Structures are given as structure tokens and as C-alpha cells.
Amino acid sequence: MLVKTSMDQSLIEKIRDSIDILDLVKEYVPSVKRSGTSYKACCPFHQEKTPSFTVSPDKGLYYCFGCQTGGDIFDFVMKIENMSFNEAARKLAERAGIDWHQEDLLTEEEKARLKLYKLMDFAKDFYHKQLFSERGANARNYIKNRSLTKETVEKFALGLSFFDGLAQAALKAGFTMDDLKKTGLINSNKTDLFKNRLMFPILNHRGETVALGGRVLGDGMPKYLNSPDTPLFSKSRVLYALNFAAPSIRKEGRAVLLEGYMDVIAAHQAGVGNCIAPLGTSFNENHAKLLKRYTDNVTVLFDPDAAGLKASKRTALILLEQGFYVTVATLPEGLDPDEYIIKYGADKFKAITQNGKDIINYQLDKFLNGAEAISAKEKSEFAAEIMDIISRQQDKIIKAEWTALAANRLGIEQSILLENLNKQKKPADKQETKEVKTEKQNLISKFLPAEISIVRIILKYPAYITLCENLQNTPLKNTEIGVILKNVALLYKESADGFGLTQKLIQTMPEFKDFILELLAKDVPQGFKPKVEIPALIKRIEDFYLQKRYKELQQQLSSYGPGQVPLTLLKEQIEIQKKLKSK
């Protein structure tokens, strides 16, 4: 743990020891790949094209050289899930199958948030029970007519709202009007928000109930109604059914974006489990960043009407800018997914989701197919539009192939399209986040390469700390590196085998956390021979300080006249000369 907490330290260590940080990170960053003794990927916390995010499974740590953040499993979950430490610890304990009984340590804010989650679960269960009540017959008939099975209804916890009842039941269960207001379950008149609707619980990617959606039964507007944004829910940060779809997305290596609840539910019932949908709002950059944790490939399947086609293109552009490979699929006859599945079957629907066209071929087909005569002006305008899409592609090879394809199918010289491409604004080619000159980097730059190498080696192989004892006789003793080495020596004696030393070191020296993490993130060269190379590095450091001191003495001695040179300085200079000659 790299943060201070009053939680039982033995529980923290038990959780940490039970979870492999690489397995954890892979769930959020599936593209992570081995690089030497560590693993690398593009950072999930900032946009970049060159991987600078590293994971060191042997140390249980991660670090990004681009945004200069790092830590252990707790830090990672806190940052990527935007959680407090206690919330992250609870999540990790559940993952590890460890009993977590630390409610007393929650802050007031965390307790209030937990209560809101409990209220949302209460509302979900309340509406689900009402669906199977005597008064729910009409809603059950509607579900039957939509060909949804009982298993599907249970999986998605579909429910039914009447014109009132939830607020009163929640108050009886110990919740308050303020709780109901904060979760958006009541309106300004303090009555139930959802009235006479088929209810769809909305879960976040962690499987927590954060909101509700409702489709009106009978007449009434709006047809679909979602919870407002609350402390638990933001439409721009939640994708419907991602909690169910995540395993299939990872297995298939692809996500399929649909338009609404019923589309997604029908697809999952048909066995196409990698389908998800945005919620009452356009797909945006936050959705893309969330989805990036699971895959780099997305198929967009929206309605084939004008609004759907426009939304498909807009969504594809956002995905391209976030580094996805995007294909677009459409269903014939203007059918919705559930209608298509009923008419043609699950296998044909799955085939359509798997055989979408890449965004360039899709746009070219739409422009060229069925067109009897295309004017030069229309072609010019479309060429600018298609090159705008291509400019957002981050992969240079795909970009080149797409440009050649567009030139061939449009009958335009490729050089002309390339000229057009160079004029386009290239969001995908934005300059990568540069490493800002921070206090930590200034700290690194003030030391010799040999000094940085020594501390990096010792952090990775603390058993060799005894070879560094002579460094405590150099000026390095009073520097940050000297203090780190001194603490490593003390901690190594305490642990005997060095197990967990890095974590303890960071707890002992939290002000050096980033410095230590960056040093650990870089690999020690292969074939490293510690008993040979550590003494060689130490000699280089000692020689440097001896030469530096010798030059200082020369300057001091030159300022004295004949017969005025202090004997102590002269003796020191002679001793240094002897040491340098003997090395």
C-alpha cells in the first residue's frame, strides 16, 4: 500500500499477496505485452502512441514514464476506477475472496456513497418484484411479445414501475428523502420519477447498480427515460451491459456497439454477448476510454436511417482518435437487432456483427453504390470528408492502405489525396504527452549515471546491498540516493530475504515514491553480473568524488602564497593522489 490508512496492515498485505498485478492490469489494459523482465503497453491514464506504461510483476508495481504515475494494486485500482483507498481495498478483497470487514474505517463521504448504492439495489429489487406481481400481467405480456425468456428477464433484472410506491417503501426501509433525491429516484414533487414503465437497471462496469431506465408502457412521453446524473451515475461514463459483456469482449477481441437496451438484451439472449450500448446520450470520448480497457476493436451497428448513419460515422471518428480499429455493420430491411434475430436467427445476426466493413470501405460504398453520375464537386467534397476520417487513423500502415484504396475507388491520383491529407487536422497525430520536467526528474538529473545504476540495481536485487557499504564513505551518503541505500540495508536486515522490501521502502520514504518507481520500471541489462559490475560502478563513483575533491583542493591551494599552504590541505591532496594512482 502506497497510501496511509488505519486499515489493518496484515489485511492489506494479505490482499496484495493474493493478487497478481499483471493479471489485474490485463483486465483493464489487454494490450500489455512482455518487454524484457517487465511488461509494457500504452498508458490507460493518458493518450500516447509509444508505450511508456510498465508493469513489474516481481515487484507488484506499475509505472508510466509519460504521465509519471505509479504504485501497487491499490494505487492502480484507485486511479483507474476513480475510487478512494477504502473502496479500492474492498473491491480487491472481494476479488481475492478475502472477508472485508472494515466499514468502521470508511469516511463519512464513503459511508454516504455506500448507502446510495444500497438504495439503488433496493429500487432494482423493488421494481423486479413488482413485475411478477398480480398487477404486472400486462408488462409480462409485453416482454413475452418481445420474445424475451424468463432467464433473460432475471439476468438483466427487468422490473415494473407503477405510478407510485417506491419512495414510500424506501422510507420504510430506512432511507431518507434526501437519499431518494440524490439518487434521482424521485422528482421535484417528491413522487416516484418512474411511472408505468418497464424498468431496466443500469449497472456500471463493476456490476454496481448506479441508475435505472424505463420504457413507457402504453401512451406517454418520453418513450424512454433514464435516471438523471447523480453522485453514482453519469450517462457519459457508463455503457449499458458492459458488466455482462466484458468477458465476451475479451474472448472475441471485439465489442459491438448497439443503440438501446432492447437491442443489447436481445443480442445477449441470442448468444452474442459482446454487445453494449450508450445510454440516452451520444457515444463520447469517455465511453471510448472505458471501452479501451477491454479491446482495441469495435463494430458499430446502429439503425440504417439518416440519424443512425450520422451517429455511426461520429462514433467511428471518436473511436479512431482513441486508437481503435473500427468496422461498421448494418441490418437489412431497417430491422432492429431483436426484430432481425426473430426473423433470421442468432447465427445470421452474429455473422453480421463479425463481418462489418472498415469505416473507409463503408463510407466509399455508401457514396459510390447506386450513384449514376457523380459531379466533380461532389467527388471533391467527399474526398475531403474521407481524408478527414483517414487522418484520424493512428496506424501509419493502415492510413497508407486506406489512402491508396480511396484513390483507387474514387479514381483520383494518390498524390492529390496525400496533399489533402497533409492539410487535414490530425487529432490522432497530436503530439504525445511529453514528460514534464518535474522535481523528480530534476532529482534524477543531479546524479551520476553510475549512481542511478547502483540504486536501480539494489532496488531490484537488495541482496547485494552489502557490496555498497563503501558508498557511505563518499559524499553520496548525505544525498537522496544515500538515504535510500541506507534504508534498503536496514529493511533487508529486517526481512532477511528482501520479500516485500520495495513496498516497505516506499512506506518508509513516501516522498521518494515516484523516484523509486521510475528506477524500478527500467530493466537491468541482460547478462548482468552483480559481483563484477556493482564494484565497478562503486569504483567509478568513488573516483569521481576523489577527482572532484582533488580539483577543489587545487583551487584552494592556488590561493595561498609561498609558505602559507595549510598542512592539512596538502596532506589531504597527497592522500587523494595516492588513492587515485592505486585504483
Q: 249 and 203 share a domain?
A: no
Share of the chain above pLDDT 70, in %: 92
- Geometric angle at alpha carbon 116, from 110 and 122, rounded to 5°: 140
In a domain, 27, yes or no: yes
Q: 115 and 226 share a domain?
A: yes
Residue 275 sits in a domain whose CATH number is 3.40.1360.10
Q: 554 and 537 share a domain?
A: yes
Q: 523 and 396 share a domain?
A: no
Give the best-scoring range by mean pLDDT among 308-322, 454-468, 547-561.
Answer: 308-322
Percent helix, strand, coil in the chain (nearest 5)? 55, 10, 35
In a domain, 70, yes or no: yes
Q: 157 and 171 share a domain?
A: yes
Average pLDDT over residues 254-273: 94
Looking at the 3D structure of the chain, how many domains does it have? 5
- What element of type H or E holds 252? helix 242-252
Q: Which of 410, 431, 452 is the last residue of a domain?
A: 431
Choice among 10-24, 128-142, 447-461 with the minimum mean pLDDT = 447-461
In a domain, 120, yes or no: yes
Q: 457 and 578 share a domain?
A: yes
44 in Cβ contact with 28 (< 8 Å): yes
Q: 269 and 394 share a domain?
A: no
Q: Which of 337, 355, 373 is the last residue of a domain?
A: 355
Q: 445 and 577 share a domain?
A: yes
Q: 373 and 346 share a domain?
A: no
Largest CA distance in the chain: 113
What is the chain's alpha carbon radius of gyration, rounded to the nearest angstrom? Answer: 31
In a domain, 511, yes or no: yes
In a domain, 341, yes or no: yes
More confident residue, 234 or 514: 234
Average pLDDT over residues 169-179: 96
In a domain, 552, yes or no: yes
Q: 333 and 389 share a domain?
A: no
**What residues form DSSP beta bridges with 192?**
186
pLDDT number for residue 439: 52
pTM: 0.70
Residue 220 sits in a domain whose CATH number is 3.90.980.10
The CA distance from 95 to 57, in Å, is 18
Per-residue pLDDT tens digits for 406-460: 999 999 998 888 887 777 654 444 444 444 445 555 567 778 888 888 888 888 8
DSSP 432-468: PPPPP--HHHHHHHTS-HHHHHHHHHHHH-GGGGGGG
In a domain, 1, yes or no: no
Tally of helices (H runs) and strands (E runs) in the chain: 26, 14
Q: 443 and 577 share a domain?
A: yes
In a domain, 365, yes or no: yes
453 in Cβ contact with 460 (< 8 Å): no
Q: 578 and 444 share a domain?
A: yes
Domain containing 529: what range? Answer: 439-582
Q: Which of 431, 463, 484 is the last residue of a domain?
A: 431
